[in-house]
Amino acid sequence: MNRRVGFDGQGNDMQGNDMDKELGKNRPLGGTQVQQGQPRQPAVQPTEVRQSRARQRRMRDLWAAGAGLVAVGTAVVLGELTASLVSPTVSPVTAVGGAVIDAVPPGVKEWVISVFGTADKLALLGGMSLIIAALAALSGVLEVRRRFAGVTVIAVFGAAGLVAVLSRADLTANAIPVPVLVALVGIALLRWLIRKLEVWLPATDDAGASPAPAAEDPAGPRPRPVVAPAVEPGLAAAESQPAEPLPVEPLPVEPTASESGPARRRFLLALGGTAAVGAIAGVLASTLRGAAAVVSDVRSKLALPAAASPAPPIPAGAEIHLDGLGPLVTPNKDFYRIDTALRVPLVDPDQWTLKVTGLVEREIEIDFAALLAKPMTERHVTIACVSNEVGGDLIGNARWLGWPVRELLALAGPKAGADMVLSRSVDGWTAGTPLEALTDGRDALLVVGMNGEPLPLEHGFPVRMIVPGLYGYVSATKWVTELKVTRYADDVAYWTPRGWSERGPIKTSSRIDVPRDGANLTAGTVVFGGVAWDQHTGIGKVELRVNRGGWQQAELAPGISKDTWYQWKLGLELTPGRYEVQVRATDLDGVPQVEESTPVAPSGATGYHTVRVEVKS
């Protein structure tokens, strides 16, 4: 057989025409197999390459988002843990939340309260958590796509936290470094995790090659095997010369299973380890609140003094026993809470003082021990939030123990022309109370006890104010630390520039508690029941009307005092059908409740509470 062999310049033999056919049929080739008269074909189809790149990019982005969540989440939790140890009253999260509360328009605040009620702060924290999570995931994706882009997001986030912390009235020097620490830790963790991710899933350029492959062949890209075209017998001399090789296209380099496995494990271990640290820090932050533990322990051991003026006995028949009707005296655990404190201030009674300043003959300062030594007054008083909608539950009745505010003000001696007392909370919140309401003989108290026990932390421990006849936003300052005697013309309280009225007197109101709106009832006698209130004036009567008919007077239980709500009930004979039932109250001065419906802003809601029921046979 006539056989001639040449070389392709790369050490591969090129045989004559007879062997070409055999090789073409039987010899497997890596890369592209070139035969006479046929163009070269790519080893990997472009569509497959693009799909592979897209899958890898999506996987990188998903893991990068997870890295961002873990890095930022761990940093935030570590910041809260640090704050709980060095700055219990101010942390980055509570500072940002407080700034949000301060900044939102009144209409938004009212909408949140109307939707979430006393869970408004939980809703705010939930919303903040979602926003933080979204920004954290975004920072991870940006960082893996462009170095330092995600880091910039975290830096901006940290700067916002610092500004919020600096804006809080209860700021301490220890609180200032915490948001900076959160940002630095978040940046360091993000860069660390992203570097490990890039080793496992390196980025690909537009040509599909990795800019920094995990490993490369030391001999460089492997050439594609080449089968030389057949030669004529008379060209033997030319065949002995090396043939010019065809162009070689390198294949996209991807880490092999042996290369990516360890890198993947290292990334996942780093991610899981960081998340575990965050979880442990979260548990510590929630359980090792040193200041909270101290204050709670002090409160639990505090013995309240006996009242020099005890609360009058509750009159017989004052509480109506009707299924669905709440108790006459609201338990502490069920008492509503509306304030601007995202985290309950922790005030050590041993460190607490109350100052009387402003337009007074002499400034007064009193500590907790001195306050407890004063002759205490105990009274039942109902308080309500101005944000309470018609028929709402932002109202409660409790037995309060405290020292009359008028006696403290008498020691200071208010000057002529003063008409307002600006009370200030430890967290900077303020309320503007008419001076007259604190000195006219009503039971306005500096409260230390609630329903026979020290004030709960969330209700103002160690000291708060209670003023009958006024909405809480102008009177019921919790964690009170200062009373500034001043003028309405010279000072404004927290809610006044936010669209609320200055003085906030309670409006005559009533509510149907039983049956509930939308109830399905059985024909016959249906007993309706509820409460009515007009603190410091008192309720004279309560009436119901059915389907806009005539008013029918309800049975009104005797009130504890004119400073509390009154319970009422009325049985109505109802046949099958649909009914609209409304209630109205009239105060002891003979002034009926306002029928016109108005919103809570700027001075409290008005209108008749209405329920609609269906009666079946």
| Number of domains composing the chain | 4
Query: Do residues 585 and 510 touch, judged by C-beta distance below 8 A?
Result: yes
Distances (CA, A) of 151 to 82, 136, 192, 260: 22, 10, 11, 26
Asked whether residue 465 falls in the same domain as residue 484, the answer is: yes
Predicted local distance difference test score (pLDDT) of residue 208: 46
Does 273 lie in the same domain as 247? no
Cα distance between residue 280 and residue 33, in whole Å: 60
Are residues 425 and 334 located together in one domain of the fold? yes
163 domain residue, yes or no: yes
pLDDT of the residue at 473: 97
Looking at the structure, do residues 567 and 482 belong to the same domain, yes or no?
Answer: no
Parallel, antiparallel or unpaired: strands 307-309 and 376-384: parallel
Q: Is residue 526 part of a domain?
A: yes
For 91, counting Cβ atoms within 10 Å of its Cβ (0-12 exposed, 13-18 middle, 19+ buried), the class is buried
CATH number, domain at 401? 3.90.420.10
What's the pTM? 0.72
Claim to verify: residue 445 and residue 519 sit in the same structural domain: no
Q: Please name the residue that has the structure tokens 């939308």.
A: 518
- SS3 string, 47-94, reads HHHHHHHHHHHHHHHHHHHHHHHHHHHHHHHHHHHHHHHHCCCCCHHH
CA distance 335 to 583: 24
**Would you say residue 479 lies in a domain?**
yes
Q: Phi first, then psi: give them for residue 107, nearest 5 degrees.
A: -65, -40
Residues 56 and 147 in one domain: yes
Backbone φ and ψ of 499, nearest 5°: 100, 10
Mean pLDDT in consecutive groups of 10 residues from the start of the chain, 617 residues: 44 45 43 46 64 86 96 94 80 88 82 83 88 95 94 95 89 88 96 94 62 44 47 45 50 54 93 95 78 84 97 97 96 93 89 98 98 98 97 97 98 98 96 98 97 96 98 98 98 96 97 97 97 97 98 97 98 97 98 97 97 96
Please state, in angstroms and rounded to a whole number, the distance separating the CA atoms of residues 496 and 150.
Answer: 41
Same domain, 147 and 194: yes
293 membership: H or E segment, kind and range: helix 290-301
Give dist(CA 381, CA 386) in Å, integer: 16
For residue 465, the tally of other CB atoms under 10 A from its CB is 25
State the residue for tokens 């490990």. Answer: 196
Q: Which two tokens stand for residue 540?
A: 């004279």
State how far the alpha carbon of 602 is from the alpha carbons of 103, 153, 434, 498, 500, in Å: 17, 39, 17, 9, 4
91, 156 contact by CB (below 8 A): no
Is the same domain home to 456 and 575? no
Sign of CA pseudo-dihedral 105, 109, 110, 115? positive
What per-residue confidence (pLDDT) applies to 75?
Answer: 95
pLDDT of residue 264: 92
The domain that holds 570 is classified in CATH as: 2.60.40.650
Q: Has residue 301 been placed in a domain?
A: no
Say if residue 164 is in the same domain as residue 265: yes
Domain assignment of residue 181, yes or no: yes
> Is residue 14, in this structure, part of any structural domain at all?
yes
Contact 541, 586 (CB under 8 A): yes
User: Do 493 and 513 reside in the same domain of the chain?
Assistant: no
How many C-beta neighbours within 10 Å does residue 153 have?
23
φ and ψ at 312, to 5 degrees? -60, 150
SS3 of 408, please? Answer: helix
- First vs last C-alpha separation in the chain: 112
Contact yes or no for 567/531 (Cβ under 8 A):
yes
| Same domain membership, residue 148 and residue 86 | yes
User: By three-state DSSP, how is residue 12 classified?
Assistant: coil
Say whether both 5 and 111 belong to one domain.
no
**Residue pair 539/566 in contact by the 8 Å Cβ criterion:** yes
Edge to edge, what strands does the sheet with 577-587 contain? 520-522, 609-616, 577-587, 539-546, 551-553
For residue 229, what are the domain limits? 1-30+224-252
- Whether residue 476 lies inside any domain: the answer is yes
Asked whether residue 481 is domain-assigned, the answer is: yes
